[in-house]
Structure 1
Amino acid sequence: MNTYEKIYKRIMACLLSLFIGGMFTINLLTPNKSFSDSENRNLEQLPAFSIQNLLDKKFTPNYEKYISDQFAYRDFWISMKSDIDRTIGKKENNGVYIGKNGFLFQKFNKPEDQDVKSKIEAINNFHLANPNVQKHVMLVPTAISILENKLPNYVSRVDEVTYIDKVKKSLNKEINFIDVYPILSSKKNEYIFYKTDHHWTTKGAYYAYLELSKNMKFTPIQKGSFNIKKITNSFYGSLYSKAGFRHIDPDSIEIYEPKEAIKYKVEYVDEAKTSQSLYEMNNIKKKDKYTVFFNGNHPFVKITTENTNGKKLLIVKDSYANALLPFLLSHFSEIHIIDLRYYTDNLNMFIQKNKIEEMLLLYNANTFFEDSSITDLNDKEN
């Protein structure tokens, strides 16, 4: 080994030592954070140490998570890794694909056949238990099924549509399945799905509302009868937080307000709160700006309108419904909204007590096939 090689190795060793020592010192001096805005989640905090936790192998895994979450300049390192991944051609991270024009797509995981069968049986049994309630089912295909022109070349869009069709064919024939794939597919070149979030946009929800009106036999409000307002153009959604891909343009969020406004009251029943608006406008200042619709998800929300037709609608739903619900106010006197992920009462009893005659089950395909709460349609406690 010549003199220059020795000097080079010593310099590199010193630089590495300085880097490790510097990062160690910075990590010691940097205060812990409780929440990551870019990842939209709570960060791991220092776990309490005990001999028992150490022996039970609980302390070390939690401590590793703590170090990972609280590492200094974490967002910078994640961003740098994302840039390297994209440079070398990586198209998937944490179950999210990056497609053309910076579109992010949630990966569809094939459900177990037994799980699909259990959900179908739950819906059919619920129908038999409530034969006098007219039922509609809308399973919304996500962007991965509609925006095939923006998918990475190796990603198949077939699986999600295949499973939706399986549900459609297996439901009781008296249940009205509302197929929104054709209308969404025909509008795929419009802004109907967010680029950085797993939800559809308000425009996408509006097109589904038009399809819903045909099936529920009411006259929809035409687009020209709304004031369309862009309330933010800096929305980074759930897929952006989950994937870690950075340097992607943000989304915008629009709301459609009828030019002929209808008066209504929103009751968040479990929270014992009321509101005169469907929108929590302060949430456009937060990371999760989609919660501007109804301030997020709730177990049970009741909307009472000035409509005098006496029609009552029950909606069993996930968060996809939040952007579509405002379009329904003009068509019903009461809208009862239940999220089975948080609702604990018996749905059969609820229908009887509130004299519900029409029901819409509205989920995006991913949530429907992954969420086990749907099998509880008939099994909640009285």
Structure 2
Amino acid sequence: MSNKVDLKNNQSNKKPKPANYLNIAICSLIMIFFFISMFFTTNGGVSQQEKRDLATFPKLSELTAEKFFSGDFLSQIDEFYKDNFVHRQEFLALSDNINTLKGIDSEIKMTVVSNTTSNNSANATQSNADDDSDKDMYKNVEQVGTLLSIDDIVCEGYGFNEPTVNNYAKTIKKYGDTLNANVYNILIPTHVEFALPSKYKNLASEQKPVIDLVNSKLGKNVTPVDAYSILKQHKTEYIYFRSDHHWTQLGAYYAYTKFCETAGLKPCNLDDYPLKKVTGFLGTLYNGSKEKKLADNPDVVEYRPVGGDLTATIYQNSSLTKKLEYSPYSDYSTGSNAYGTFLHGDNPLTIIKNPDIDSSKKVVVIKESYGNAFAPLLTQNYGEVYVIDPRYFNDNLSDFVDKHKITDVIFINNMIAVGSQNRVDELNKLLK
């Protein structure tokens, strides 16, 4: 019995170690930091990295007894603080880096689809022209998870999905037969089409035959725009980012000039406008690969803000009730969000007006994020440019075109989006 008592006395006489005090101090400082930061939170907005609206603080005017006692109101407050705490993006990036060190995959996933192209359906014939556009730019390829690491860049793979591609063509044809406007379709090859060395061609389907297949099925009321040929001609230039799945403004500009040629318009001269740069851009493909070569040599978002006194009205929610007035170009998008320089990212509807151009000339651009760098260029040819992202826009497109007296409609999509059934479904919903 006495031995037990002595043991207890010995345990009670032990003094806390210095490390215990250090742990308590660190935890206390963290708690104090987050408590103080609660008073400096933002309120909502859009996360370009996560492609979603951030939670806003619930309106006290909407508080009811039912919402309070059910916990819904407190849950909304909890979501608000989770989405808006100070330096949230930096903490998310730190968490992602820690997970990578632990061997946990990033939440950002890129998919390499089946690389079997149907020769019968896509007429897979490659040009044998002996010019620089047919020469390999890179030599070495390594697969990093589902991505392709090619010399000093990283690319998404591409796989031909025949049923979905046919559904895409059918959907665009339906718009051509329905809309009271000139309808154009622009298909953008992704970086891997021009970057992948010829000896590794089995790692991705060829995109040119698939583009030709889609264009052959569009019908007489849709005019295809051949962006492929001019991008291939300039493939050695900085037309795609090295660490991100998007193209640059320069790539978008080349496609824009091809559209103008097709539509009988005069393109603006990009060199007439001052060059601006956003440095330190590490995009989605860096997040998916964590390739050190990208971190050591980040991308630069180079852009020339075309136009004169342009105004952009950005609708931030699908009900089109929340809007802001901006320039078409963001001067606050940096780091992993730097592609948000163009149109402030993806929003349901953006309307850009150029008072120096006839306001009766109107165009609608139906796009995914590739269209963000493209659409502002059209302000030099149209007095009003309407930019719609089908992922978030819920109105009927035919009614929209008639209501705003739109003259031209442009569908612009990269080839991975064309092979996505989700994308096709999003486009189809605008017909309802």
TM-score of the superposition, structure 2-length normalised? 0.65
Q: CA deviation at 1:155?
A: 4.5
Which residue is equivalent to 1:281? 331
After superposition, give the CA deviation of every residue in 1:341-372 in whole Å (9 maximum; x if it has no partner). 11111111111211112100001111121152
After superposition, give the CA deviation of every residue in 1:50-104 in whole Å (9 maximum; x if it has no partner). xxxxxxxxxxxxxxxxxxx97993343459xxxxxxxxx982234210002x111
Q: 1:180 to 1:219 in 2, by over 3 A?
A: same
SS at structure 2 position matched to 1:153: helix
The CA distance in 1 between the partners of 2:331 and 2:175, in whole Å, is 37
Q: 1:253 to 1:186 in 2, by over 3 A?
A: same
SS at structure 2 position matched to 1:221: coil
Question: Aligned to 2:223, which of 134, 155, 176?
Answer: 176
Question: Aligned to 2:313, which of 246, 250, 267?
Answer: 267
Which residue is equivalent to 1:106? 156
Given that residues 302 and 334 in structure 1 are in contact (C-alpha distance below 8 angstroms), is that contact kept between their aligned partners in structure 2? Answer: yes
Given that residues 347 and 378 in structure 1 are in contact (C-alpha distance below 8 angstroms), is that contact kept between their aligned partners in structure 2? Answer: no
Query: Which residue identity does 2:277 align to in structure 1?
Result: K
Question: Aligned to 2:303, which of 248, 255, 260?
Answer: 255
Query: Which residue identity does 1:343 align to in structure 2?
Result: F
The CA distance in 2 between the partners of 1:271 and 1:367, in whole Å, is 28
Which residue is equivalent to 2:348? 299
Which residue is equivalent to 2:99? 74
The CA distance in 2 between the partners of 1:141 and 1:71, in whole Å, is 30
Q: 1:357 to 1:90 in 2, by over 3 A?
A: closer
After superposition, give the CA deviation of every residue in 1:159-199 in whole Å (9 maximum; x if it has no partner). 32222221011111231101111111111111111111111
TM-score of the superposition, structure 1-length normalised? 0.73
Which residue is equivalent to 1:161? 208
Which residue is equivalent to 1:362? 412
After superposition, give the CA deviation of every residue in 1:217-262 in whole Å (9 maximum; x if it has no partner). 1111123312122222x1111111112322322111111134xx42
- Residues 19-34 of structure 1 mapped to structure 2, 5 A cutoff: none
Which residue is equivalent to 1:215? 262
Query: Which residue identity does 2:383 align to in structure 1?
Result: S
Given that residues 99 and 152 in structure 1 are in contact (C-alpha distance below 8 angstroms), is that contact kept between their aligned partners in structure 2? Answer: no
Which residue is equivalent to 1:129? 178
SS at structure 2 position matched to 1:281: coil
Which residue is equivalent to 2:400? 350
Q: 1:96 to 1:333 in 2, by over 3 A?
A: same
The CA distance in 2 between the partners of 1:72 and 1:338, in whole Å, is 34
Which residue is equivalent to 2:243? 196
Which residue is equivalent to 1:15? none
1:92 aligns with 2:138: no
Given that residues 267 and 274 in structure 1 are in contact (C-alpha distance below 8 angstroms), is that contact kept between their aligned partners in structure 2? Answer: yes
Q: 1:235 to 1:378 in 2, by over 3 A?
A: closer
Q: 1:114 to 1:275 in 2, by over 3 A?
A: same
Given that residues 187 and 228 in structure 2 are in contact (C-alpha distance below 8 angstroms), is that contact kept between their aligned partners in structure 1? Answer: no
The CA distance in 1 between the partners of 2:146 and 2:410, in whole Å, is 30
SS at structure 2 position matched to 1:146: helix
The CA distance in 2 between the partners of 1:349 and 1:105, in whole Å, is 39
SS at structure 1 position matched to 2:305: strand
Which residue is equivalent to 1:246? 292
SS at structure 2 position matched to 1:198: coil
Which residue is equivalent to 2:253? 206
Q: CA deviation at 1:287?
A: 2.3
Given that residues 119 and 375 in structure 1 are in contact (C-alpha distance below 8 angstroms), is that contact kept between their aligned partners in structure 2? Answer: no
Q: 1:78 to 1:192 in 2, by over 3 A?
A: farther
The CA distance in 2 between the partners of 1:378 and 1:192, in whole Å, is 30
Stretches of structure 2 that go unaligned for 5 or more consecutive residues are: 1-22, 32-48, 52-93, 105-139
The CA distance in 1 between the partners of 2:164 and 2:253, in whole Å, is 31
Q: 1:226 to 1:155 in 2, by over 3 A?
A: farther
Given that residues 164 and 421 in structure 2 are in contact (C-alpha distance below 8 angstroms), is that contact kept between their aligned partners in structure 1? Answer: no
Q: Between Structure 1 and Structure 2, how many residues are aligned?
A: 308
Given that residues 265 and 274 in structure 1 are in contact (C-alpha distance below 8 angstroms), is that contact kept between their aligned partners in structure 2? Answer: no
Q: CA deviation at 1:264?
A: 2.2
The CA distance in 2 between the partners of 1:352 and 1:361, in whole Å, is 17
Query: Which residue identity does 2:234 align to in structure 1?
Result: K
Which residue is equivalent to 1:235? 281
Which residue is equivalent to 2:11? none
Given that residues 126 and 377 in structure 1 are in contact (C-alpha distance below 8 angstroms), is that contact kept between their aligned partners in structure 2? Answer: no
Q: 1:155 to 1:138 in 2, by over 3 A?
A: same
The CA distance in 1 between the partners of 2:102 and 2:284, in whole Å, is 19
Q: CA deviation at 1:376?
A: 4.8
Q: 1:272 to 1:78 in 2, by over 3 A?
A: same
Given that residues 304 and 334 in structure 1 are in contact (C-alpha distance below 8 angstroms), is that contact kept between their aligned partners in structure 2? Answer: yes
**Identity of counterpart residues, as a percentage?**
24
Which residue is equivalent to 1:139? 187
Query: Which residue identity does 1:98 align to in structure 2?
Result: S
SS at structure 2 position matched to 1:267: strand
